[in-house]
Amino acid sequence: MDEGGRSNLAPYSFFNAFCDEPHIIGFCSNGWKDTVANVAKTRQFVWNLATRSIAPAMNATSASVPHEVDEFVLAGLTKLTSCRVKPYRVQESPVTFECACTQLVQLQDAHGVPVEAWMVFGEVIEVHIDKSLITDGVYHTAQAHPVLRGGGNGEYAEIHAEAIFSMQAPD
């Protein structure tokens, strides 16, 4: 959401979790796009898990459209009010995080020359998880059917029950 309250929505596969205490997640914008520009001003954003059922809508939100275009409307997704930040959440997404920006870092190459890419880090200040995905207090990734961007042209992968295996970390 920008300073004027206009919504913005886009997929970011250069994304990860980076810290568990406090919970810090981040994503990288290749180019100064609407999402990073909005976060730079408002210091807030919302992350929504992309799942198989909303993958086409997620893809639609990546269209290069003018700043004024609300990608929620473009993709037919529903706005859900957040608890602690102004940007809306995606109602159709079963896992959403409300985030407060902690750092905005411009990347640089091996010679220290700044490149047109910015990492946005945010502390997760509110977590929303659909209760159907939690059993005995544990969140089950596969039940959400999240999607991942693969290589190639338009290739994606879906996480489902058969893709899960267990492994214990060494002491």
Ligand X SMILES: Cc1cc2nc3c(=O)[nH]c(=O)nc-3n(C[C@H](O)[C@H](O)[C@H](O)COP(=O)(O)O)c2cc1C
Instruction: Tell me which residues touch ligand X (CB under 6 A).
Output: 8, 10-14, 27-31, 33-35, 59, 62, 64, 149
Q: Pairing relation of β-strands 44-48 and 23-30? A: unpaired
Tokens 């693969």 sit at which residue?
150
Residue 43 CB, nearest approach to ligand X (Å)? 16
Q: Which helix (H) or strand (E) holds 40?
A: helix 34-42
Q: Min. distance of Cβ 109 from ligand X in angstroms?
A: 17
**From CA 51, how far away is CA 145, in angstroms rounded?**
5
Query: Considering beta carbons, is residue 10 or 124 the nearer one to ligand X?
Result: 10
Neighbours of 107 (CB within 10 A): 13
User: At closest approach, how far in Å is the CB of 149 from ligand X?
Assistant: 4
Cβ nearer to ligand X, comparing 14 with 134 = 14
Residue 42 or 83: which CB sits closer to ligand X?
42
Nearer to ligand X, 134 or 158 (CB): 158
- The candidate with the shortest Cα–Cα distance to 98, out of 31, 48, 139, is 48
Q: Residue 99 CB: number of other CB atoms within 10 A?
A: 27
Q: Least Å distance between CB 135 and ligand X? A: 29
